[in-house]
Amino acid sequence: MLNTKDMAPVMVSAPKLPQRIFLIGFMGSGKTTVGRHLSDLINYDFIDMDSKIETDEAMAIRDIFIRRGEHHFRNQESRLLDQLAEQTNIVVSCGGGIIHDDINVERLKDNGPAVFLDGSAKLLFERVKNDGNRPFAFLDLGDEAQRFAKFADLYEKRRCHYDEASQLVIKVDGKSPSQIASEILNALTL
């Protein structure tokens, strides 16, 4: 008969979650929807950077770009990222252009993990093509084929920056937001 008192204790430690999880990726990749699911799963606060900037500036993103300029928006974005890097128990949906600035990329690497939601340009374009609040795809309109070409080109140019900033890449085509959230959680707690 085995006496359990003689057995060495087995240390089972609960998987440790990071204090902050940043979701990055191109517009339409599902950062906000997935972020909400993920934050519910792990009981973290959810912060959408674009929404926070819109609230702070009392203006829609599109109007911030038009009236205050992209430079102003990017400054606000970087400032907010600095603040979020100090907070804990948060899931953050970052704007698609967060990786434009090398300092932001360093912040994400130092304070993340950042998770790159990687979808095909075709899927992402279908999701956002009628959304007038996304200045990059829509301010200078051509026909739909021209807009797609411009969209896909920008995505390709940014892809290496998303890769560099992220610790985890999740393919999103064909998956539901809750599937993606569970996949992120599994990968981060393995």
Write out the residues near ligand S3P by the rule CB under 6 A: 27, 31, 50, 61, 95-97, 134-136
Could you give phi then psi for residue 170, rounded to 5 degrees? -120, 125
Residue type, 171: K
Question: At its nearest, how many Å lie between ligand S3P and the CB of residue 86?
Answer: 21
Mapped onto helix, strand or coil, the DSSP state of residue 173 is coil
Token code pair at residue 108: 């994400």
- Burial profile 49-83: b = 16 or more Cβ within 10 angstroms, e = fewer: bbebbbeebeeebbebbeeeeeeebbebbeebbee
C-beta closer to ligand S3P: residue 10 or 161? 161
C-beta closer to ligand S3P: residue 56 or 189? 56
Question: At its nearest, how many Å lie between ligand S3P and the CB of residue 112?
Answer: 17
- Mind giving me the DSSP string for 116-139? EEE--HHHHHHHHTT-TT-HHHHS
Question: At its nearest, how many Å lie between ligand S3P and the CB of residue 113?
Answer: 18
C-beta closer to ligand S3P: residue 17 or 127? 127
How many angstroms separate the CA atoms of 162 and 174, rounded? Answer: 20
C-beta closer to ligand S3P: residue 17 or 152? 152
Which long-range contacts (C-beta less than 8 Å, at least 24 apart) are formed by 5-12? none
C-beta closer to ligand S3P: residue 132 or 142? 132
Question: At its nearest, how many Å lie between ligand S3P and the CB of residue 174?
Answer: 20
Question: At its nearest, how many Å lie between ligand S3P and the CB of residue 123?
Answer: 14
